[in-house]
Amino acid sequence: AQSVAQPEDQVNVAEGNPLTVKCTYSVSGNPYLFWYVQYPNRGLQFLLKYITGDNLVKGSYGFEAEFNKSQTSFHLKKPSALVSDSALYFCAVREGDYKLSFGAGTTVTVRA
Amino acid sequence: DAGVIQSPRHEVTEMGQEVTLRCKPISGHNSLFWYRQTMMRGLELLIYFNNNVPIDDSGMPEDRFSAKMPNASFSTLKIQPSEPRDSAVYFCASSHPGNEQFFGPGTRLTVL
């Protein structure tokens, strides 16, 4: 079965500093990987995806993610974090044609 | 587009009562998903519809749960009878097949 792991429950950074949220995956075959963000009392919002092609994927709100096949990682990054980036972030891998398997989530807190 | 619409946003009911959650997917999306989110179990896929047909209901926890999609613009998730352990946030999501899923705002269910 496909799976993802988010090794950090929480990430704390100062505003203006780089933000990295880690994700590793375990799949058979080519991975289809996604990042979602969830703000309090809201649904999940799609940030970006990797299907094939360039290893660096750019997404919404200035986020990007780097696919690393040798390290089986798909870390989410933002060069300069904002207080408004404070939220819960989920990495997910698609199993088959439709099923998403989500990580446990990482809570990001950006302090002013 | 208004995005995925869910109602009600909050539901408080007593054990043993019937609960019906409603979802209107994004127009043109023919894949629809129901998820449950809890602290203990994270995000779980309950059921997946494609072109209004249930394709995968392996995540439905037990016979008390049922879901229908009578047409392309409406789906329901019903719990009868409800139990306190059903308390969770229930999300509906829609997509074009194989593409990223767009989530609704969720229904927060509390069963007393």
Give me the tens of pLDDT residue by residue for chain A, a chain 112 residues long.
Answer: 779 999 999 999 999 999 999 999 998 888 899 999 999 888 899 999 999 888 999 999 999 999 999 999 999 999 999 999 999 999 999 988 888 999 999 999 999 9
Question: Under an 8 A CB cutoff, do A100 and B105 touch?
Answer: no
Q: Which long-range contacts (CB under 8 A, 24 or more apart) does A57-64 make?
A: A59/A35, A61/A37, A61/A85, A63/A35
Q: Is A39 on the interface with B (CB under 8 A)?
A: no
Contact call for A98 and B55, based on CB within 8 A: yes
What pLDDT does B51 receive?
Answer: 94
**pLDDT score recorded for residue A29:** 82
Please count the CA atoms within 13 angstroms of the CA of A42 that sit on its side-chain side.
13
pLDDT at A30: 83
**Chain-chain contact of A49 with B100 (C-beta, under 8 angstroms):** yes
**pLDDT at site B76:** 98
Per-residue model confidence (pLDDT) at position B1: 62
